[in-house]
Amino acid sequence: MVLKKNGSGDGRGGPRAILALAILAILTLAQAPRAATAGELATVGQSPVVIELFTSQGCSSCPPADRLVAALARRPGVFALTLPVDIWDYVGWKDTLATPHHTQRQRQYAKNRGDGRVYTPQASINGVAHVIGSDLEAIRKAAEECYGREGAMRVPVAATQTGATLRIDVGAAPAEAVGRAAVWLVRVASTRQVQVRRGENSGQTMEYVNVARSFERVGEWSGQPATFEAALAPHRDADGWMVLLQTETQQRPGVILGAMKSPGL
C-alpha cells in the first residue's frame, strides 16, 4: 500500500494515514485463514468420506486447503487423497508432483456432474459433489449430504497386505447402489515437501499428505461379495496405498462406493 504525504509535507503520514493503516491491518486479520480446531475437524468423518483435493504448487489459494486436508486425513473415517494438477504450470512454476492423469480426472468429474467446474483448490467428495478445498464447513456439509447418495461409501471394503500381495474383500451392494464398479489401487506418498522457487508461491515450502502417485485398475465388481488380489511391487515414489471402489459413467469416474487405506495414512 502506498500512502501520499500529508499536508505538512513531512512524509510521516497524518491521522488519515494512520487510520488507513489500522483499517488495512484489521481487514488483513479478518481475511487470514484460521486453523480449524480439533472439535471442528471432528465433525468430518463421522460418516466415511473420500476427499480428493485437486491442488497446485502454482496456486496462491491452495496452501490453506493443503493444510486442511492434511489435518482431516488423520481423522477416522476420512480417506483423503491429494491430486496435484498441471493447469497452472504456465504461470511461472511447473508443479513437481502434478500428472496429466490427475488433471484429466478432475475434468472428467466436472463432465460427469455436468457443471464443467474445474478450479483449485477443489475438493471432490465421494465422487459426487465438489466444494472449495479450504472451506471446512462446506466439506463437512457435503460429506454428510453425499454419504449414501447412489450408494456412496455404503459398500464394505477391507484390505489385508501380506508381503507383496494385497487382498481386497468387497461386500455386497446395498439396494441404492449401482450394481457394477471398478476396484482401483492407488499408490500414495504419505508426505511430501516441495520448495517453490517461482510463481505465486515463490519462496514457500509446500507440504502435502497422501499424494496419489499411480492408479491401477485391479478388477471389476458386479455387486456381489468378491475378493481381489493386487501385487504391491516396490514403488519408487510411494509408501502407502488406498483402495477405491468406484462406478463409471462413459469411462469417467463416478460415485465412490467404498474405500480402504493402508495403516498410517
Q: Is the pLDDT of residue 19 over 70?
A: no
User: Residue 235 has which C-alpha cell?
Assistant: 514403488
- DSSP per-residue letters across 96-133: SS--HHHHHHHHHHHHHHTS----SSEEEETTTEEEET
Residue 223: Cβ within 10 Å count: 18
Q: With beta carbons less than 8 A apart as the criterion, state whether 75 and 45 touch.
A: yes
Q: Is the pLDDT of residue 14 over 50?
A: no
- Residue 34 banded pLDDT, cuts 50, 70, 90: low
Residues in CB range of 133: below 8 A, 6 or more apart? 53, 54, 55, 62, 65, 68, 69, 120, 121, 122, 123, 139
**pTM for the whole structure:** 0.86
When mean pLDDT is compared across 43-57, 169-183, 226-240, 243-257, the lowest value belongs to: 169-183
Q: How many angstroms separate the Cα of 57 from the Cα of each of 114, 122, 191, 208? A: 27, 13, 15, 10
48 vs 5, residue with greater confidence? 48
Per residue in 109-148, pLDDT (tens digit) is 999 999 999 999 999 999 999 999 999 999 999 999 999 9
Cell numbers 496456486: residue = 59
pLDDT at 174: 85
9 vs 211, residue with greater confidence? 211
pLDDT at 184: 98
Q: Please state, for a pLDDT cut of 70, what percent of the chain lies above it.
A: 86
Q: With beta carbons less than 8 A apart as the criterion, state whether 97 and 86 touch.
A: no
When mean pLDDT is compared across 32-46, 91-105, 155-169, 244-258, the lowest value belongs to: 32-46
Residue 143: Cβ within 10 Å count: 28
pLDDT at 22: 41
pLDDT at 25: 39
User: Residue 161 has which C-alpha cell?
Assistant: 497386505
Per residue in 199-246, pLDDT (tens digit) is 999 999 999 999 999 999 999 999 999 999 999 988 999 999 999 999
Q: Is the pLDDT of residue 169 over 50?
A: yes
Q: Is the pLDDT of residue 16 over 80?
A: no
Nearest of 78, 59, 77 to residue 68 by alpha carbon: 78
Q: Is the pLDDT of residue 13 over 90?
A: no
Q: Is the pLDDT of residue 11 over 60?
A: no
Q: Is the pLDDT of residue 195 over 50?
A: yes
Question: What is the mean predicted confidence (pLDDT) over 87-100?
Answer: 96
Q: Please state, for a pLDDT cut of 90, what percent of the chain lies above it.
A: 78
pLDDT, averaged across the chain: 88
